[in-house]
Amino acid sequence: MSEQLSKEWWRGAVIYQIYPRSFMDSNGDGIGDLPGILQKLDHVSSVGADAIWISPFFKSPMKDFGYDVSDYRDVDPVFGTIDDFKLVVDKAHTLGLKVLIDQVWSHTSDQHDWFKESRQSRDNAKADWYVWADPKPDGTPPNNWMSWFGGAAWTWDSRRMQYYLHHFLKDQPALNTWNPEVRAEIKNIAAYWLDMGVDGFRLDVANLYHSDKELRDNPVRPAGSPLPADPPPSNPIIRQIRLHSVNQPENIDWIKELRAFVDQWPERCLLAEAGCCEDSEETAADYTKHGNRFNLCYAFGLLGSDMSKGPILRSVGRVEKLLDDGWVCWAVNNHDFRRSPGRIPGPQSNIDKSLYASALGLSLRGSYCMYQGEELALANADLSFDEIRDPYDRALYPNHVGRDGARTPMPWNGSAPNAGFSTTVSSLWISLWPEHVPAATDVQEPDQESALFHFRKFIQWRKGSSALRLGSIEILETPDPILAFRRTYETQSVTCVFNCSEFESRIAVDTIGTGQIFSDISRHAVIEGGEIILQPYGYCMLAG
């Protein structure tokens, strides 16, 4: 590998997302923790990941399970200590894994010392660290912006006699990143963790850093107009075009400032989330251009889709049209969406659906974020209302039940209590899904027909393919429901063919101009009589 590619380790990397609460519980309290992550890093390495992304483990009241931070520089006791985190970093680096940690810099918890001070008066040292506004003459909020969790994005504070902005829960006040003091403190926080040895950050809702200075109303979405990928139609915020509340043009200036600061540490990476906006693909492309913004960004186009050909082509086509010299990170699963087998139609097995979705994401141009349990083909857990802990799922129940269904405990041992996730004899923080137990890691480990075996094999093969990790992409003309594209890097070329449906499909080999099939990597696909025959959700990789 060239020196430049070594420095840009994130380009074409596979990043394994760990949701700490549900990964591994080391002390028997029913909640996953940092020592638990330490115990299972060998598994992550064996899957073939290049890096880990750890969701928030900082001090927090846990109203949004860690995405409401009350201290950016310390570990919440439920997850362990700073020393536990340092051990995770050291072992990950020993295994050759880079370490990214979640940073939530668009908002804090209302229990953060900054907000406690800010809300006391209009003239204290932190008075302008959050977005505050006077009411309209009739006492109502300053504009029509809505929260993702339902209702107005503004809450009245009787001490300041003003409203404060919160894009999510009222317990998550929005930081005022227009304020240079806030930006300076965010950079100090970044330096704290970079000096500790982390290799970069995953940046939560990075397009929410700035909001419109004039606090103008968002326009109403015209009836019948196309809906964005996020949020779901059951969320009333979908009735607005989020023109002024998110993704402001000046956000780019702050992104450049942040990138220039982080670049002082060699070989670090900024991975941004580009959700909560009208055009996730456009934002992902825009936020990674010209080498002076984020290193990479992931969009929501595949995460919320049924993985049929139409949505895939729309998302990929949009990114490729706009990306220019930027770099995207694909994902088909994470902690905010239903797991892929639960979104893909048809009677096929979870293994067939999951491996199809993951192989597709791993074959597209860009890097790839996988989510814990994806390697096991875990289905989305079907939880009752009483079992749901996520305030977002509860607010939109029953039309949106998906985030907690993807956050249930990892099954490690099919014959142990709590599937090896925890030794607790009382309750887990969230229910273990019984259907996940037969898919436990130790059950799949010796089985060469298991999802884990095929997932590992595909990633290992991908590591040796410059075409898949770094190459260009050319979408080929194919009849529905077959999707085909060619990846090319220098003299190496791979053609990827997917059946995006629950029915058998065929295509003539000569229509895509290639030949030899990589049979060990392909699945439910054969070449007979000049045709590629693909079973439901089958796929094949061909040389040339």
List residues with catalytic annotation: 204, 273
Evaluate whether 370 touches 376 at the Cβ level (below 8 Å).
no
Q: Angle of helix 34-47 relative to helix 82-94, nearest 10 degrees?
A: 10
531 phi and psi, to 5 degrees?
-120, 145
376 phi and psi, to 5 degrees?
-100, 0
Dist. CA 162–CA 155, nearest whole Å: 8
Dist. CA 170–CA 168, nearest whole Å: 7
Cα-based distances in Å from 149 to 166, 268, 281, 391, 393 = 10, 33, 23, 8, 9
155-162: long-range contacts at Cβ-Cβ below 8 A with a sequence spacing of 24 or more? 157/119, 157/132, 159/119, 159/120, 159/121, 160/119, 160/120, 160/121, 160/122, 160/132, 162/122, 162/132, 162/133, 162/134, 162/135
Nearest to 72, CA basis, from 63, 82, 64, 83: 82
Evaluate whether 499 touches 534 at the Cβ level (below 8 Å).
yes
CA torsion through residues 275, 281, 284, 286, sign: negative
Instruction: Give the ranges where 485-540 is alpha helix by DSSP (H).
Output: none
Helices and strands, number each (H, E), in the chain: 13, 19
Evaluate whether 201 touches 99 at the Cβ level (below 8 Å).
no
Evaluate whether 255 touches 287 at the Cβ level (below 8 Å).
yes
Residue 3 in 3-state DSSP?
A: helix
